[in-house]
Amino acid sequence: MYEEYDVVRAIRDINDKVPKGSKGAVLIIHTSTPPQYEVEFIDEEGNTLDVLAVHERDIEKA
């Protein structure tokens, strides 16, 4: 389980903008079953790649 503002990494390609290994920050925790996390993914320069809801199985702590 993650908390707001945790830094995470995508463990698979999420979409065409967010490849495996992209880092992001958890912005919102959706208390669905299973929980989903609204994550802002960024590139190495700090530019936003995408903001989207992902499942716990899609991310790991960075």
What is the residue-level pLDDT of the chain in tens, covering all 62 positions? Answer: 899 999 999 999 999 999 999 999 999 999 989 999 999 999 999 999 999 999 999 999 99
23 belongs to a structural domain: yes
45 belongs to a structural domain: yes
31 belongs to a structural domain: yes
The domain total for the chain is 1
Q: Is 52 exposed, middle or buried (0-12, 13-18, 19+ CB in 10 A)?
A: middle
The answer to whether residues 56 and 2 touch, using CB atoms and an 8 Å cutoff, is yes
55 belongs to a structural domain: yes
Residue 30 sits in which domain range? 7-61
The answer to whether residues 26 and 37 touch, using CB atoms and an 8 Å cutoff, is yes
User: Could you tell me the pTM of the whole model?
Assistant: 0.94
35 belongs to a structural domain: yes
